[in-house]
């Protein structure tokens, strides 16, 4: 089972990185990570090509290894896909599922994401299930309905309670590359709704999944976001490709109330 920290800081490198750049970046992150308190956990999710190399570099450190996706089936004739048992074999602890880019570019459905999450849990991996509403859904007043529907469709029974663990990442799709930003009030009200929807879906208020926020988080606003009671961490995209930015966000987590 993956350990639970007060603040979980996840870096999603997306389709970025070479052996050389990864070696430099991980070296810099490890130098700064040692100074973080135990309440802050760092997870790095490199592309598949770098999982083994990054895993070897962070072995024995406080940084955990994550992947960016997995297939629901454990093996088979699925060219280009990677199965959850393969990730576990590499020492992966976390796996991001249902990211808005995969929903958009690969037309992934909630049912497919749920099947992937179940496959990950079966291998002892901790799924990070991404949910979020579009600008059209938000402007129509349907944001909470959409988020509740994603939770009902993508989150397996017992997620975060009777399983190896589970994490929900809220990423407002309407704030990605649009110039619009989520205010503290937006994040507070939406994550409170997500927590309520999770409790209703899972039938319990106990041991609910951690909730991360992912929406252009910077070192400047990390402490404020992470001081929200319903936010347990952040999912970081582009800022995780800079050690200064990523560690700055982690420092904000260290300085926020747990």
- CATH of residue 193's domain is 3.20.20.70
3-state helix, strand, coil in the chain (%, to 5): 45, 15, 40
Residue 164: predicted pLDDT: 54
Strand 63-67 to 94-97 pairing = parallel
Q: Which residues pair with 131 in a beta bridge?
A: 170
- pLDDT above 60 for 3: no
Closest of 246, 227, 247 to residue 236, by C-alpha: 246
Residue 13 is assigned to a ligand binding site: yes
Residue 232 is assigned to a ligand binding site: no
- pLDDT above 60 for 93: yes
CA atoms within a 13 Å half-sphere pointing along the CA-CB vector of 227: 11
Residue 203 is assigned to a ligand binding site: no
Average pLDDT of the residues in 26-45: 96
Residue 216 is assigned to a ligand binding site: yes
Closest of 3, 51, 63 to residue 27, by C-alpha: 63
Catalytic residues: 99, 171
- pLDDT above 50 for 1: no
Average pLDDT across the chain, whole number: 93
* 217 falls within a domain: yes
4-18, 73-87, 177-191, 230-244: range with lowest mean pLDDT = 177-191
| pLDDT tens sequence across 52-87 | 999 999 999 999 999 999 999 999 999 999 999 999
pLDDT tier, 196 (very low <50, low <70, confident <90, very high otherwise): very high
| pLDDT tens sequence across 199-251 | 999 999 888 999 999 988 889 989 999 999 999 999 999 999 999 999 999 99
- pLDDT above 70 for 193: yes
Q: Which domain holds residue 101?
A: 7-255
* 2 falls within a domain: no
Tell me how many domains the chain contains. Answer: 1
* 1 falls within a domain: no
Residue 207 is assigned to a ligand binding site: no
* 152 falls within a domain: yes
Higher per-residue pLDDT: 182 or 84: 84
The answer, as to whether pTM is greater than 0.85, is: yes
For residue 244, report the phi and psi dihedrals to the nearest 5 degrees. Answer: -60, -45
Residue 254: predicted pLDDT: 80
* 110 falls within a domain: yes
* 28 falls within a domain: yes
How far separated are the first and last CA of the chain, in Å rounded?
22
């Amino acid at each position: 089972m993956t350990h639970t920290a007060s603040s979980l800081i996840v870096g999603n490198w997306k389709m970025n990185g070479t052996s050389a750049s990864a070696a430099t970046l991980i070296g810099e992150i490890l130098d700064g990570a040692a100074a973080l308190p135990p309440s802050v956990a760092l997870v790095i999710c490199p592309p598949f090509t770098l999982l083994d190399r990054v895993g070897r570099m962070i072995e024995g450190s406080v940084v955990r290894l994550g992947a960016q996706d997995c297939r629901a089936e454990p093996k088979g004739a699925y060219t280009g896909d990677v199965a959850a048992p393969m990730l576990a074999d590499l020492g992966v602890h976390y796996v991001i599922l249902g990211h808005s880019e995969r929903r958009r570019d690969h037309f992934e459905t909630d049912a497919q994401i749920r099947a992937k999450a179940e496959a990950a849990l079966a291998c002892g991996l901790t799924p990070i299930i991404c949910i979020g509403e579009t600008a059209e859904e938000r402007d129509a007043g349907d944001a909470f309905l959409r988020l509740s529907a994603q939770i009902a469709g993508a989150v397996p029974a017992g997620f975060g309670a009777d399983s190896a663990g589970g994490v929900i990442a809220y990423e407002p799709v309407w704030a990605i590359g649009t110039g619009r930003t989520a205010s503290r009030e937006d994040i507070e009200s939406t994550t409170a709704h997500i927590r309520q929807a999770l409790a209703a879906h899972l039938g319990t208020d106990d041991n609910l999944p951690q909730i991360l926020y992912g929406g252009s988080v910077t070192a400047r606003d990390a402490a404020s976001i992470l001081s929200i009671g319903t936010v347990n961490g952040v999912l970081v995209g582009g800022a995780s490709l800079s050690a200064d930015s990523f560690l700055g966000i982690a420092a904000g987590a260290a300085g926020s109330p747990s």
